[in-house]
Structure 1
Amino acid sequence: MSGALEGIKVLDLTRVLAGPYCTMILADLGADVIKVEAPGGSDETRGWGPPFQNGVSAYYLCANRNKRSLTVDLKTEEGRDIVRELAKEADVLIHNFKSGSMEKWLLDYDSLKENNPKLVFCSITGFGESGPYRHLPGYDYIIQGMSGLMSITGDQDSSPFKIGVAMVDILTGLYSAISIEAALLERERSGKGQKIDMSLMDAAVSSLANVASNYLISGNVPQRLGNDHPNIVPYSIFKAMDGEIIIAVGNNRQFTTLCEVMKIPEIAKDEKYRTNEARVENRIELTNILENQLQLKSSEFWMELFSKNNIPCGPIQTMDQVFNHPQVIERDMVVQVNHPEAGSVKLVGSPIKLSRTATKVERHPPMQESILSRSFKKQGTLLKRFHNLSRKKLSTLGLIH
């Protein structure tokens, strides 16, 4: 079966994580993604390690599968001409250069749409293309701090913590993929492309969800609650006899059942804990009561008991436990691909499960030096003009033939 986005041509001028993650999603769905880098490889993540596998960065491998590769020097007019020619036939162009860079090179949306009015043009920047911070670069860590995410991560006795992965980049990549797909769908009706202005800051602020709503409604600045939920109790990590488990009780019925199976049914009837609102107000006292009971038995005992009674619970797993978990294995969340330099590489699989147009891993992440393969040359319309360039000109542009 063909991919859901088969026939969609994507010109990818991004690097690091947010943009490459977005285009990897599109590529997994069947889009023909051409990753454009400067001579020698301009994606910084190629050097972000250890770990490396045969000299290839694990970080780079995580976001670049299923893409073709092309070397173009955008510092030269000839290189920029190549992008203009490719953009004439592309469905999507995505970049994450600083605001103003594409305009300086005459590769901005207004310039490119003259020759391709159906082009969907996605810009990813730190702060967007409007506002007083539009010219500043954006980095996940800094945006985590500025957006408020770090102010609510950690506990009252700790410093603010960043999230354990570059979550702002991931969220921006996801929002970008959604936006591109929406613009392509709308194009089916209007016949016109459009520009998408994505911002790491916007994506991070949007992810604050209920915590942001709590502040906007109450005016109270949220504090760091560690592993506790700001709106629901008990919904946290609790200590059993031999370790910690997560209990996530979301309603009064579940709380009543929890108390019954823990042999403290009277707690569910106590006015201090009978409703979620009351439990939030008395979370510390309730947590102490629950942990006193939990520490009488092992975590395995409690999780088995809770699961039998439909009480949401779970362990806190390390990476080795995650990727050896039967559920993760069954869902194909680890895939293997052969790479000319790195050898056989394990990658995280796609979470997108479509019944007819399943995602596929068909290409390894592009190598350090881009090569125009025979199959790439056969792509036709996207590179027709490009293929007419002479071998000598390809060399002067920094392209490898």
Structure 2
Amino acid sequence: MSYPFAGVTVLDLTQIYNGPYATFLLAQGGAEVIKIEPPGGEHLRKRSGSSGAAMPFAMLNANKRTMTLNLKTTEGRALLLQLVEKADVLVENFAPGVMDRLDLGEDVLRKANPRLIYASGSGYGKTGPYRDFPAMDLTVQAMAGVIDTTGYQDAPPVKAGPAVADFLAGIHLFGAISAALFERERTGRGRSVEVSMMEAVYPTLASGLGLYYGSGGQEVPRTGNRHTGLSLCPYNVYPTRDGYIAIITNNDQHWRYLVDALDAPQLAEDPRFGTVQDRCAHMDAVDAAIGDLTRPYGKTELFELLIRNRVPCAPVRTLAEVVNDPHLHARGSLQWIEHPEYGRIVVNTSPLRFAGEDGMVPYKPSSALGADTEAILTERLSLDAAQVERLRAQQVL
């Protein structure tokens, strides 16, 4: 079948998580993504494979071709600009200013190809007082308020478990590139786009912001597993005999479903719990009562009971349970593969479905460092084997 980004060529200079995820989504949409790494490989590739720390490289760099190029050399920069001439998109997530110092800034790229979409991701953006601050997922979570709003009120703040800042930025960068390509189809002109990790994270604070404004600008307490805006109850993680279950009631009907399922008419009749507002005013009592009722059940048993009764809930599952999830495997979202470098691993495909399961791009594992260097230079720049070897000898490749 024809995929949405078929025929689009992407030069991928990105590293770690956020940029590579944006280009992974493009590759999974049918684009030809050429990952260009420094001769030693990008940082994520160099993490210790024995501990599994390098496995995310496989997750984020499937369906990409890979080559090495030393952009600190004159020849390396010249080769990149030749590739730019025939490309549609260039993506990088270096610190602001790095591309200019390499003499590969926007003006230089645009001169090589006026139709180019130049996309950059960074922690705080190309302008503003935070521009040059070091930006990693942890530091952006701290700066953006994620850490302060996560955890319990009487304990130190904690980071979110997943790399939320990196991946939110990657998704937004993919969206910006897609929008720019759509615009170019209508105007014929390229455009530069950028995404700041901090700005991508900010909208996720919506519930806490509601509480902040509703309290007249008072500091918002950490709420543990309760609703960040403290405007829904029950909304928590409750104990079971063999783990935990998350339960949320968005409205009074959900509350009635819950108390009926748990055979607790005394809660339905308690005047303190009559409405969402009443329950929010008595959260401690609600949570204690629900916890007493959930504790004797197994988490799977309780999940099945509540789902039958239309109560929004889910068991709190381990990573091992998620990796082996039958639903995700049935949909093809997760696949077991034998990776040439990392052995038998589970890999993810794109969450974006363009024509159901049958329309997914065939999965190609991530490649070894520089595996396609010679082929790309031969196909795209018409270099011969002797020229490639000369560049190798000069440490350009």
Normalising by structure 1, report the TM-score: 0.90
Question: Could you tell me which residue of structure 2 aligns to residue 84 of structure 1?
Answer: 81
Q: Distance in 1 between matches of 2:338 and 2:239?
A: 43
Q: Distance in 1 between matches of 2:384 and 2:168?
A: 37
Structure 1 window deviating more from structure 2 (229-238 vs 288-297): it is: 288-297
1:377-392 aligned at under 5 Å gives the runs 383-384=380-381, 390-392=387-389
2:219 corresponds to which of 212, 217, 221: 221
Structure 1 window deviating more from structure 2 (88-97 vs 299-308): it is: 299-308
Question: Could you tell me which residue of structure 2 aligns to residue 302 of structure 1?
Answer: 302
Question: Could you tell me which residue of structure 2 aligns to residue 108 of structure 1?
Answer: 105
Match for 2:190: what amino acid? G
Q: Distance in 1 between matches of 2:386 and 2:87?
A: 18
- Are 2:166 and 2:197, in contact at CA under 8 Å, matched by a contact in 1? yes
- Are 1:48 and 1:59, in contact at CA under 8 Å, matched by a contact in 2? no
Question: Could you tell me which residue of structure 2 aligns to residue 48 of structure 1?
Answer: 47
Q: What root-mean-square deviation, in Å, do the aligned CA atoms of Structure 1 and Structure 2 show? A: 2.4
- Are 1:85 and 1:386, in contact at CA under 8 Å, matched by a contact in 2? no
1:126-275 aligned at under 5 Å gives the runs 126-218=123-215, 219-230=217-228, 231-275=231-275
Secondary structure class of the residue paired with 2:10: strand
Normalising by structure 2, report the TM-score: 0.91
Match for 1:225: what amino acid? T
Q: Distance in 2 between matches of 1:124 and 1:62?
A: 19
- Are 2:374 and 2:388, in contact at CA under 8 Å, matched by a contact in 1? no
Q: Distance in 2 between matches of 1:286 and 1:258?
A: 12
Is 2:96 the counterpart of 1:95? Answer: no
- Are 2:323 and 2:346, in contact at CA under 8 Å, matched by a contact in 1? no
**Deviation, structure 1 residue 217:** 4.9
Is 2:348 the counterpart of 1:348? Answer: yes
Q: 1:186 to 1:214 in 2, by over 3 A?
A: farther
- Are 2:247 and 2:313, in contact at CA under 8 Å, matched by a contact in 1? yes
Is 2:384 the counterpart of 1:366? Answer: no
Q: Distance in 1 between matches of 2:166 and 2:394?
A: 31
1:4-15 aligned at under 5 Å gives the runs 4-15=4-15
Q: 1:326 to 1:337 in 2, by over 3 A?
A: closer
Match for 1:45: what amino acid? L
Tell me the alpha carbon deviations over residues 89-134 of structure 1, each in whole angstroms, 9 at most, x when there is no partner.
Answer: 1111011111111122231222211231211111111110010111
- Are 2:28 and 2:349, in contact at CA under 8 Å, matched by a contact in 1? no
Q: Distance in 2 between matches of 1:273 and 1:172?
A: 40
Q: 1:33 to 1:44 in 2, by over 3 A?
A: same
**Deviation, structure 1 residue 389:** 8.7
- Are 1:118 and 1:187, in contact at CA under 8 Å, matched by a contact in 2? yes
Secondary structure class of the residue paired with 1:207: helix
Secondary structure class of the residue paired with 1:246: strand
Question: Could you tell me which residue of structure 1 aligns to residue 320 of structure 2?
Answer: 320
Tell me the alpha carbon deviations over residues 152-185 of structure 1, each in whole angstroms, 9 at most, x when there is no partner.
Answer: 1111232111111211111111110011111111
Q: Distance in 1 between matches of 2:23 and 2:359?
A: 17
Question: Could you tell me which residue of structure 1 aligns to residue 61 of structure 2?
Answer: 64
Match for 2:3: what amino acid? G
- Are 1:125 and 1:137, in contact at CA under 8 Å, matched by a contact in 2? no
Q: 1:279 to 1:51 in 2, by over 3 A?
A: farther
Secondary structure class of the residue paired with 2:193: strand
Q: 1:391 to 1:44 in 2, by over 3 A?
A: closer
- Are 1:8 and 1:91, in contact at CA under 8 Å, matched by a contact in 2? yes
**Deviation, structure 1 residue 151:** 0.7
- Are 1:123 and 1:197, in contact at CA under 8 Å, matched by a contact in 2? yes
**Deviation, structure 1 residue 282:** 1.3
Tell me the alpha carbon deviations over residues 193-232 of structure 1, each in whole angstroms, 9 at most, x when there is no partner.
Answer: 1111211111122322332343245423222111111331
- Are 1:154 and 1:224, in contact at CA under 8 Å, matched by a contact in 2? yes
Q: Distance in 2 between matches of 1:389 and 1:277?
A: 76
Stretches of structure 2 that go unaligned for 5 or more consecutive residues are none
Runs of 4 or more off by more than 6 Å in structure 1?
none
**Deviation, structure 1 residue 139:** 0.7
